[in-house]
Every structure is written in C-alpha cells, then in structure tokens.
Amino acid sequence: MSQHQEFGQTDWSFAELLTKESHRLAFRCGETSATRAELHIAARRAAAYLSHLGLKRGDVLALWLPDGGTWLQFLFGAATLGVLVIPISTRYRSQDAHHVIQTSGAKAIVLMPNFLGFDYLGTARSIQSLSPDLKHIIEIAYPDDLFPIDPALPSAPPTGTPSDALCTFGTSGTTGRSKLAVHDQLGVLRHGENVAHAIDLRVGDVMLCALSLYGVMGFVQAISALAGGATCLFLPVFNAEAATTLIETHHVTHFFGSDGMLSSVLDEKGRSLATWRRGGFADFTGLAAKIVEQAERELGLHLVAIYGSSESFGLTSAQLPTDTQAQRAIPGGIPISPEIEFRVADLQGGQMLSDGQQGELQLRGYNVMTGYLNNPSASDSAFTSDGWFRTGDLGYTAERRFVYLSRLSDGLRLRGYLVNPVEIEDYLSIHEDVLDAQVVGVNQVGEGDLAIAFVRCRRPAVTEDALLAYCKSGMAAYKVPRRILFVSEYPTVQGPNGTKILKKELREIARIAVEKPGNQA
C-alpha cells in the first residue's frame, strides 16, 4: 500500500475482541499459554473478583507486575467494570511507585511479591501505610499464567463504557515529576485495530512482546496483536539470545523495539530469523541507519523508524517498508490512521509552518490522551486553544509525513525512557551529605543519553560509590546516574533574571568525564 490506512470505525468491546478467533492462542509466556477464550473467561472472573473487593466504575487499579497472562487478565477485567488501570514500571522503587499510587488514588494494587530480587510486597505495604486510598494488595505468585479465581464468585455486570478511562502511561516533562496520560477504552481499541492493519498483522501471526506492558509501546504491540488475531509472545526480561531463540522457535513475524534492542538481536548469530516479516524501532541511541541497512542486507527485512509518546500512543506514525533505506531510518513518518492529524507551529508566534520549517509538532485525533490524571493545570497547558496536543517535540512537515528531530526541553532519554533531570536532582538533594545537585545528559552513540550528576556536598568524605548506591536503593535503575562528580561551585552567569547555572559548561565537563572515566570535575 502507498500509505497507512484506517481499518475502520469500531464499536467493539474487549469481550468481542477476545472472542474473535477464540480457539487461537492469545499469549505465550515461558512455558505458559492460553487461548483467547481462556483469557476472556479469566478476565470475566477478574472482574467478578475486583467487584467482590468493592471496586466499581471510576475506581483505580494499579498493576505492578512483570508481563504475562495475569497482566492482560486484570486489564480486561478492569475494562469490564470501567475501572481505570495504572501500570507501574517494575523498574520503579519506593519513591517512584509511591508517587504513582498517590497521584492516582489507586484503591488496589496487583503485584508479584518478589521479582528479580526486589521486595515489591514489602515496598507496597510501606506505601499502603502512607496511602489511605490503597485498600487491597493482591499477590500474584505466577504472573506468566492466568490468576486462578474462584468461579463461584458472582459474575459482575459489564458497566464499562467506550468513553471510560482505561489506562494511563507515565510521562516525564521538564516542570515536575511524572504525569499520568489517560486513554479511554474506545481510543485503545481503535488504535489497536488500526495498528494491526498498518503493520500487516494477520490471523495466526506472532508478535514478540519484548517491551514491557507498562510502557506505551509494549502495550500497543500487545493490543494490536490481539486485535489482529495474532499471539503475544512475552519476554518479560529482554536479552538478545533469548529473543533470537523465541523468534526461531515460535516463528515470530513481528518485533518492534528500541534501536538498541533490534541491533543486539541482529548481531546475535546462530539462530534463524527468517520468519520476521515486519519490524520497527524508536531511534534512541543513533543506530537507525546501521540496523536498517543490516536488516535488509542480511534478512531482506525492511525495518522502519516509528514515532509515539505516552500522550499519543506508541506507533502514532511510521515510515513505510517500501521507502528507501535513508527514509526508513528517519524518526516520524506517516500517521497510521487518517484520523491522526499533525501540524508544526512556530515556537514564538504559534503560527502554522510550511514544509521544511522547524517548530513544535502538534497532534490531534482519537489517539491523543484525554488529559493528565488529577492534574488539570498540566492538562490545560498541554493543548492549544483549538484543541491540538503540544508534543514538546521539535520537527517539521514533509508532504504527507512529519520528521521528529528532538525534544524541545532538557529532558533526558535514558534507556528509552524520558526522564526529567529534576527528579534525579531532587532525590540526590535529600541525602544528608548533599547540599544540592545538577544533572545533565551526555549522548553516546550506541547508548543514547547518559545521566551525569554534579553535587555540592556538606561532608567532603562522602564518595561517588556511596551516592550511587543510595540512588540504586530508591530509584529506577535507568535513572541512576552514570557518574556523580563533586564540585565546590557550579559555573554561572549573571543574566537579566538573575544568576543562571551554565548547563552547557556542565555538559562539556560531563562529556570529558565519560570519555576519561578517571576525571573529576
């Protein structure tokens, strides 16, 4: 096809989605699998269980789980009731998880007590003592599988509606902590259906789901696979060797991820990737040209760059497999549905710009969030007066496409996650030996942004290793700085509005420290 097309207006419910091709596998995770019919029945029992606990339409359920059958079961069970699902990253530790629970007002949380050596249950109990809304902690021993629920529980009537909020995705800007972008049930269903059509998902195909369900891209992959009649093949902890084994063993047809993930899979030798038919990537680490060329040369596979965000869904747009290699490596592309509109606005005056002129990329369509949960001021400022979403991204239009260039802000893209440096600075600053902190990014080919922290200390004896250990104890691993450098003062300049710290000079110091690890500021 010459461009992406909309599959069509939908009034599906999630129940209808799961009962289509009901005998086929919905998911496989490790040695566990379930058909779409089995997932549908389990989801209805999850709805009954949540209703039994007192959750009702408009309440909030948090999912702090590795990927697998239980995650999908509770998502669709919550949808039946009109309960809002708040995914929490399994990388989150106490500080980040507490923020999400507090912001959302979650009434219940579903978790695995321990995963990869972290005590989720103990952490959740600590958070519960500080969160009066959090009434229930639901422990899941085997999240790969469907959670067994007593079939004798009274069934819950389906009270959810297409306009009900279904899920949120965390997003970090430059003005504060993570916000939760809300998407409604109909938007999720329509996007899954449209993505399935745009990426040529067919009944019986297999989608390797190596990106986590708590992230918008991993979530969209799973929903689109189910909408297209394909199987979700989960890989809860990614590594390239395991991914290539799954591709060969289960005849994977579709695999999307970051450029780093796809690069590592392409470089892993010894397994056949011949069934891999469609793939795309977010260019986080500058490997786009390398993987596009390598995939075509070695596999005849036409990888494409994609674009998306927590607010506008993963796979908002993509380049076309029929494009040239150079075009397929450019982030942005053509929206996957004609209902997704784009424009570029001047950064100062706000007027619309012509092709090739750089400005802020703005979006409008069913795919755009309804707002940020419990944050009306942020929601208002995220939209223009005529209803377009301000992405905060720099880009330009090029006929039917747009090109993404960079974030307008100082936000860091750490291992694929957008992180506000202030989050890291604030956490460092509450350490008893730290006076204050500044965090900048250094971009390295093959790794993307690296967070480098500068701190002024109250006690000279504190060490970099001690502060790194402190960060690891309370922050998601991808937020932990690569280096912590000690300074007595920050470089500053006196401007019209007062003294400003010269982040540009800090970035140069950080760059030298990364290239010559023995250096201190």
Per-residue pLDDT tens digits for 270-328? 999 999 999 999 988 789 999 999 999 999 999 999 999 999 999 999 999 999 999 99
| Average pLDDT over the chain, rounded to an integer | 93
Looking at the structure, do residues 247 and 301 belong to the same domain, yes or no?
Answer: yes
What per-residue confidence (pLDDT) applies to 520?
A: 59
Domain count, the chain: 2
Would the pLDDT of 173 be above 50?
no
Same domain flag for 315 and 192: yes
Do 67 and 132 lie in one domain? The reply is yes
Assess if residue 8 is contained within a domain.
Answer: no
The answer to whether position 442 is within a domain reads yes
Q: What is the mean pLDDT of residues 184-209?
A: 97
Asked whether residue 310 falls in the same domain as residue 453, the answer is no
- Four-CA torsion 39, 41, 45, 51, nearest 10 degrees: 90
Q: Is 439 inside any structural domain? A: yes
350 and 246 in a single domain? The answer is yes
Q: Which residues contact 15 (CB under 8 A, 6 or more apart)?
A: 40, 44, 80, 158
Structural domain that includes position 508:
412-515
CATH code (residue 222): 3.40.50.12780
Please state whether the predicted TM-score (pTM) of the whole model is above 0.85.
Answer: yes
CATH number at residue 428: 3.30.300.30
In a domain, 7, yes or no: no
Distance, CA of 504 to CA of 440 (rounded, Å): 9
The answer on 463 and 387 residing in a single domain is no
Helices (H) and strands (E) in the chain, counts: 15, 29
* Encoded amino acid at 225, one letter: A
Query: Among residues 405, 439, 455, which one ends one of the domains?
Result: 405
* Any domain includes 5: no
Residues 6+ apart with CB under 8 A from 170: 87, 89, 100, 178, 179, 180, 181, 310
CA 156 – CA 307 distance, rounded (Å): 38
- Whether residue 268 sits in one domain with residue 393: yes
Residues 398 and 440 in one domain: no
167 with 278, same domain: the answer is: yes
**For residue 496, pLDDT beyond 50:** no
Assigned domain for 146 exists: yes
Q: Which of 257-266, 420-429, 430-439 has the lowest average pLDDT?
A: 420-429
**Overall average pLDDT of the 340-367 stretch:** 96
In this structure, are 401 and 419 located in the same domain? no
176 pLDDT band, cuts 50/70/90, is low
The phi and psi torsions of 248 (rounded to 5 degrees) equal -70, -45
Do residues 139 and 121 touch, judged by C-beta distance below 8 A?
yes
pLDDT of residue 251: 99
Decide if pLDDT at 179 tops 90: yes
User: How many CA atoms, within 13 angstroms, populate the side-chain half-sphere of residue 486?
Assistant: 16
Q: Residue 69: which residues within 8 A CB-CB, separation 6 or more?
A: 27, 29, 32, 34, 39, 42, 143, 144, 145, 146, 147
Give the span between the Cα atoms of 463 and 115, in whole angstroms. Answer: 30
Query: 405, 420, 444 — which closes off a domain?
Result: 405
63 and 125 together in one domain: yes
Per-residue pLDDT at 503 exceeds 80: yes
Instruction: Indicate whether 373 and 269 sit together in one domain.
Output: yes
Is residue 520 domain-resident?
A: no
Last residue of a domain, one of 405, 437, 452: 405
Is the confidence at residue 497, as pLDDT, over 60?
no
pLDDT for 110: 99
Q: What is the pLDDT of residues 222-240, one digit of tens each?
A: 999 999 999 999 999 999 9
In a domain, 6, yes or no: no
Q: Provide the pLDDT for residue 6.
A: 44
